[in-house]
Structure formats: C-alpha cells, structure tokens
Amino acid sequence: MASQPKAPKKTTGRRDELLRIGVATLTEKGFHNTSIDELALAAGVPKGSFAYYFGSKDAYTVEVIETYGQYFVKKLDRILTNQEFKPLDRLKVFADEAAHGMEKYSFRRGCLVGSLAQELGALDDRIRSVLLETLQTWQGRIRTCLDEAKAAGDLLPDADTPELARLFWYTWEGAVLAAKLERSRAPLDIVSEAFQRQLFSPASNKG
C-alpha cells in the first residue's frame, strides 16, 4: 500500500509557544525530567493540545531540536559572517558571547544538542539522527569561517578545516558541560584560547 503524504504541521501561536518553552525547559532540565503536564502548564494550554499539535513527546522533542538548531544557525551566521572582524576573531566573539549567555542563566542552561545527545543519543534513532544533523550543520558554519581564514593566510595552507571544525565542536560541547558543573565560564575560555593557539599560522603572529 502506498504511503500517505505527511500532513502539514499545524502552526499556531500556542504551538510555537510550546516549542519556545521546550527549548528553554529541555535545555535546563533534560528530556526525562520534563513532563508534558509541565510544558502544557507553562504554555497555558490543555494537555490535550500537546497531543493535538505534536502527537508524542518524542515527536515534540525532534521539533524542539530543529527549532533550537535553526535559532542557533542564525546566531552563528550573525557572528561568523561579520566582516567587522577577521575570521578567527569571530570564533572568539562567538565563544565570549556564549559564555555571557551561560552566565546570564547562572550556568543552569548549556547546549540543548549536547545535553540531549548524552541523555537520548543511544536510545532513540530519530532523535539521534536530528541531533547529529544539527551538529553537522553547525560544524559546516565553523568550517566556512576557517576556510575564509585559510584564504586570508591566517591558517597554514595544509590546515584540515573539516577536521578542525569537528574538533572545535567536540571540545566546545565538553566545555559547556564542564561550565555547568563548575558554574564558571573558565572551561569555555580555556577551550577557546587553546583552539586559537592551534589555529594561528606563524605569519599571523607578526605585528
């Protein structure tokens, strides 16, 4: 039997509010510590509306990840394409802005993708897939910035920018976790500074 086309997503103000609340709540508390009742109450909607809009908590979580990913890509694009800064300086701007963001919420919130990857990555293939896709999109933005730095002569000619972009996100996600544990931006600053030391070519240090 031929598969039926997927019904379009129901877009309403309440639905969008549930997604917005999900981003904040799941980032801070995780999947298992967040109930549907809590989300519905925070959005001011009946519990039945949750099922109407999303069907299940797993399906909702996928959309929350996608919403967060889209928001974060816009943030990366704003910072990493800012021509007022040299490409490698843009990475420092990103790290500093992210650290300020964690300070703002007293280090209760980190990265939704990193948190859910630890909690659910080995349990649910659909969620794992969307988490990986989101992370790879972010890596692509870092790679583009590094490619620009390479073209400007700020990286060695043989620098492997795809590998460096992966290295950045792998170490960054660990730093975000450590910052939550220590309730300090120090892990973020350490990773940012260490990454920069690995990147600069000798020519870029000449005054």
User: pLDDT of 118-156, one tens digit each?
Assistant: 888 677 889 999 999 999 999 999 999 999 999 999 998
| pLDDT value of position 120 | 86
Do the domain assignments include residue 49? no
Note whether residue 36 is domain-resident.
Answer: no
pLDDT value for 199? 83
Percent pLDDT > 90 in the chain is: 82
Indicate whether 113 belongs to any domain.
Answer: yes
Q: pTM of the predicted model, to two decimals?
A: 0.86
Has residue 120 been placed in a domain? Answer: yes
Query: What residues make up the domain containing 70?
Result: 64-201
pLDDT at residue 201 is higher than 70? no
> Would you say residue 24 has pLDDT above 90?
yes
Q: Is residue 25 part of a domain?
A: no
146 found inside a domain: yes
Q: Residue 43: what residue type?
A: A
Give CA–CA dist 132/89, Å, rounded: 27
Domains: count for the chain: 1
Residue 101 belongs to a domain: yes
HSE (side-chain half, CA atoms, 13 Å) at 24: 10
Looking up residue 84, the CATH number of its domain turns out to be 1.10.357.10
The answer to whether position 155 is within a domain reads yes
Q: What is the pLDDT of residue 64?
A: 97
